[in-house]
Structure 1
Amino acid sequence: MAVNLPSIRKSGVNYFLEGFQLIKQPGLRAFVFIPLLINLLLFAGAMYFAIGKLDELFTWMNGEIPEYLTWLNFFLWPLAVLTMLVVMSFIFSSVMNWLAAPFNGLLAEKVEQHLTGKNLNTGGTVDLIKDLPRIMGREWQKLKYYLPRALLFLILFWVPVIGQTAAPILWFLFTAWMMAIQYCDYPFDNHKVPFDDMKFALKNTKGTSFSFGASVTLFSMIPIVNFIVMPVAICGATAMWVDKYREAYKNPIVSQDS
């Protein structure tokens, strides 16, 4: 689908940073708090379980190594906990996109209402529950798009020379693109814009899309901070939708590229 997109000179980085301001708005805080609370509770429970297993591992290890090497615990414990924190943070970022998908769409809706002053009239809680199959189907579309491409890029890491040079750069660019798709999709989906049309629109604004996705990716690499990246990215992506896509998709023009 081809549409006439407004040329607003604002980078994706600016939109992402705008998300930090939007999550603090009084009318939006509740919609930010609910998925964030779910995320924190699940993460805290998983960390409690994992640290217990880690304690068992170190107890076993201390029984196997000579006593004069037990001082290594002083260095290994913090390193193990930090590694576990980073790995679990990445895992939870992915899992929470599924668990919080209905809340994310609702947050995008409220942000758009805040920015435009217009009600989307998407219905209440009952309508949201009825719409769950379609919402989860949309998440499945994103996953189907992501997995084969991710596997292809991961294979590149095993290719001599390329794996040590180009592959890390390509992986970062791919991740940035996927972050743009993941979070920009919520406002698009609220307006029932098909998934392929959404991708086409983002490709038409590649510079903004990639800089937005790169910002999300970089902040997602910071443990603890990445907990708030999801609502920040949704708010920023919705601001980008309002500025760059909303008016054009009121009257889309179908082309042969769709």
Structure 2
Amino acid sequence: MSSGNLITGANYLVSGAQLITKPKFRLFIIVPILVNIAIFIVLTSVMFNYFSDVVDAMVGAIPDWSWLEGFKSTIAWIISVLSAFIAIVLYGYSFSVITNILAAPFYGFLAERVEEHITGNTPPSESIVSMTVRTVGRELVKLWYFISRGFLVFIAAFILGFIPLAQFFLPVLLFLWAAWSMAIQYSDYCADNNQIGFTQFREGLAEKRFSAWGFGSLVFIGSTIPLVNIFVLPAAVAGGTILWIKEQPTSRLA
């Protein structure tokens, strides 16, 4: 079975961006964009005000032990690289997580309309209250997955930082994790609308991991760019819906 394609995956975000410009989808992106603007102002201000101070404090906290002198510059480099990447990931992902929790029902409706536009079919009908409870609950499930798995990824990254040559793969590992997280986040709305369990959804997405990485990479990059991230998230919902529909067997949406 094919594991997907990086370029095809990235193109799903482009297709999603083109799709949400259609008049029939505008109602479902106005509120999320307004929420995005408010969150963007708060998170961007916090990041620029505190990042350099936090890195300086962490480097300054390295003990002045004699046996550490030979490793001090390496440790400082590891801290700087990890801190910079973690800050970018936290900024991009915090932006999307907070937005997704607050705007989850709107994104759920957007994914439903995109699915109907592409396939002509709609997920099982439910009330607005039921969809709100379901989508917010699913966001919390995803949040726990990202926290628990992300902790292990960063532990592994820290260990790699002390291994010669392996240090160069550290940013790659972190980037792939961030891309995978974004792919899960935004292609899950369609799966959730069709009442597909989270574990089953992840296993299905893993079968098309390269498409997922291609899509998630572009979403992650867009989510870390100020102003761009305001508009990229609704496009990611549409693109993730397209990815899930195009890449998964029909039986998964049955």
TM-score by length of 1: 0.72
Q: What is the CA-CA distance between 1:232 and the residue it aligns to? A: 0.8
Deviations 1:14-52 (A, max 9, x none): 1111011011011001101111112213444x379869x
Aligned: 1:129 with 2:129? yes
- Give the whole-Å Cα distance in 2 for the aligned partners of 1:181 and 1:220: 15
User: What letter corresponds to residue 134 of structure 1 in structure 2?
Assistant: R
Contact 2:6/2:215, CA 8 A, preserved across alignment:
no
Query: Partner of 2:117 in structure 1?
Result: 114
Aligned: 1:138 with 2:141? no
Aligned: 1:212 with 2:215? yes
Query: Partner of 2:231 in structure 1?
Result: 228
One of 133, 140, 163 as aligned partner of 1:161:
163
Q: What is the CA-CA distance between 1:96 and the residue it aligns to? A: 0.7
Q: What's the % identity of the aligned pairs? A: 35
Q: What is the CA-CA distance between 1:165 and the residue it aligns to? A: 2.3
User: What letter corresponds to residue 227 of structure 1 in structure 2?
Assistant: I
Query: Partner of 1:41 in structure 2?
Result: 38
Contact 1:187/1:241, CA 8 A, preserved across alignment:
yes
Max radius of gyration: which structure?
1
Aligned: 1:152 with 2:155? no
Q: What is the CA-CA distance between 1:85 and the residue it aligns to? A: 11
Query: Partner of 1:245 in structure 2?
Result: 248
Instruction: Identify the structure with the greater helix proportion.
Output: 2
Query: Partner of 1:186 in structure 2?
Result: 189
Query: Partner of 1:176 in structure 2?
Result: 179
Change in CA separation of 1:29 and 1:168 when aligned onto 2, cut-off 3 Å: same
Contact 1:219/1:226, CA 8 A, preserved across alignment:
yes
Aligned: 1:20 with 2:17? yes
RMSD: 3.3
Change in CA separation of 1:49 and 1:111 when aligned onto 2, cut-off 3 Å: same
Matches within 5 A, 1:76-95: 91-95=94-98
Unaligned runs of 5+ in 1: 55-83, 252-258
Contact 1:8/1:243, CA 8 A, preserved across alignment:
no
Unaligned runs of 5+ in 2: 51-86
How many residue pairs are counted as aligned between the two chains? Answer: 214
- Give the whole-Å Cα distance in 2 for the aligned partners of 1:184 and 1:26: 22
Q: What is the CA-CA distance between 1:8 and the residue it aligns to? A: 10
- Give the whole-Å Cα distance in 1 for the aligned partners of 2:175 and 2:43: 27
Q: What is the CA-CA distance between 1:250 and the residue it aligns to? A: 4.3
User: What letter corresponds to residue 132 of structure 2 in structure 1?
Assistant: L
TM-score by length of 2: 0.73
